[in-house]
Amino acid sequence: MYFQILVVLGISLYVLLIFGLRSLRKVRNRIETPGETEFSIEKLSQLRDQGLLSEEEFVKARDSILARGGREMMLPTAGMPPVVAPPPKPQPRGFEVVQRKPEPPPAPPKL
């Protein structure tokens, strides 16, 4: 009787632990994901030109945008065609570096 209660209690605690860890993981991933910013380097420079941002604030905000991956916003692309980057060349890794010796040509058939 007591053994059955302990087994049921242990299984229920295990299930609660699994669900608790999953919910904590979801919360942690949601918190660590940076939010999208509506600012671009161009908008920040407009604010600086209007006198709403000081030079120090502009530099700090620009560095923050660049750190979050806004490098493409810094390029002046008005009226310019998009530039297509060439695909990266594959680099040899691991055993691909070792070159195989060429096989000798097959011997001519005997007549």
27 and 41 together in one domain: no
Asked whether 41 and 65 are in contact (CB, 8 A), the reply is yes
19 and 45 together in one domain: no
Region 3-30: what's the mean pLDDT?
89
Q: Please give the backbone phi and psi of residue 36, each rounded to the nearest 5 degrees, phi first.
A: -75, 140
The model's pLDDT over 61-90, given as tens digits with 9 standing for 90+, comes to 888 877 776 544 445 555 666 667 778 777
Q: Is the pTM of this model over 0.75?
A: no
Instruction: Tell me the residue range of the domain where 24 lies.
Output: 1-33
Residue 55 resides in a domain: yes
Asked if pLDDT for residue 8 goes beyond 90, the answer is: yes
66 and 53 together in one domain: yes
68 and 45 together in one domain: yes
The number of distinct structural domains making up the chain is 2
Helix 55-67 with 41-50: angle, nearest 10 deg: 170
Asked whether 8 and 32 are in contact (CB, 8 A), the reply is no
Residue 2 resides in a domain: yes
